[in-house]
Structure 1
Amino acid sequence: MANSGVMKLVCLVLACMVVAAPDAVDALTCGQVVSKLAPCLTYLRRGGSVPVTCCIAVRSLNAAAKTTPERRTTCGCLKNAYKSVRGINVAIVGGLPGKCGVNPPYKISPSIDCSKVR
């Protein structure tokens, strides 16, 4: 079962890399977004205490997405993750940045229009 989860994550990373490839101008890729947030996966499914490694990843990702294109890429990758990774609790995801002391310039939600992220 654990192997199945790892394979799904690898497939998601590869899919995000393919989707992000045409936007070579963007310094931040879907592969980077997904790999940075890997320590958060168990929390995003089950809740509980936020792992320290997860908050470090969230803060790192927020700091890495400095430009509008990078924030849009991050937004799109997060939306794809909602669709691709089973069991993510949407209510938990929206509160994760705040629990890690981060205030991104957009609400993390599966319904966000990433083209409007600045």
Structure 2
Amino acid sequence: MLLSSAPIVSSFIECSIITQLFSACSLFITHGTPDPIPGSPCCDAMSGVNNIANTADNRQYVCRCLMDLIDNFSSNASAIGILPGLCGISLGFNIDPNADCSL
């Protein structure tokens, strides 16, 4: 039997992990301050999100989870969208309410 070393992604588990990681940035998401800086708990969490989004399939799951998160925090969608950039991280897609997660 051949076993794959690629992680199997469950959208439920991934979304709960993504939500948990973004909770490290809750002050910025809800209040707009303080700006996260590399090395802060928020940016460490964004690095964790980036590590999860390490394949095309995983990026699609992460993107879908983030679209759900944006739906829940729609008034703060722009804050969620700029977090990775403030931390110097590129997830390989833009966090935007109109993002196409199938790419």
Structure 1 length as normaliser, TM-score?
Answer: 0.68
The AA in structure 1 aligned to 2:73 is V
Structure 2 length as normaliser, TM-score?
Answer: 0.77
Larger helix percent? 1
In the alignment, which of 11, 14, 20 is matched to residue 35 of structure 1?
20
Deviates more, 1:26-35 or 1:69-78: 26-35
* 3-state DSSP of counterpart to 2:25: helix
Deviation at 1:104, TM superposition (A): 1.6
* 3-state DSSP of counterpart to 1:114: coil
- Gap regions ≥5 residues in structure 1: 1-23
Deviation at 1:37, TM superposition (A): 1.2
Partner of 1:9: none
Q: Per-residue displacement from partner, 1:9-52 (whole Å, max 9, x unpaired)?
A: xxxxxxxxxxxxxxx93266111111111111221121122342
1:101 and 2:88 correspond: yes
Partner of 1:92: 79
Q: How many residues align?
A: 92
Aligned partners of 1:59 and 1:103: how far apart in 2? 9
Over the matched positions of the two proteins, sequence identity in percent amounts to: 28
Aligned partners of 2:84 and 2:66: how far apart in 1? 13
Stretches of 4+ aligned residues off by more than 3 angstroms = none
- Please report the RMSD computed on the Cα atoms of aligned residues, expressed in angstroms: 2.0
- Gap regions ≥5 residues in structure 2: 1-6
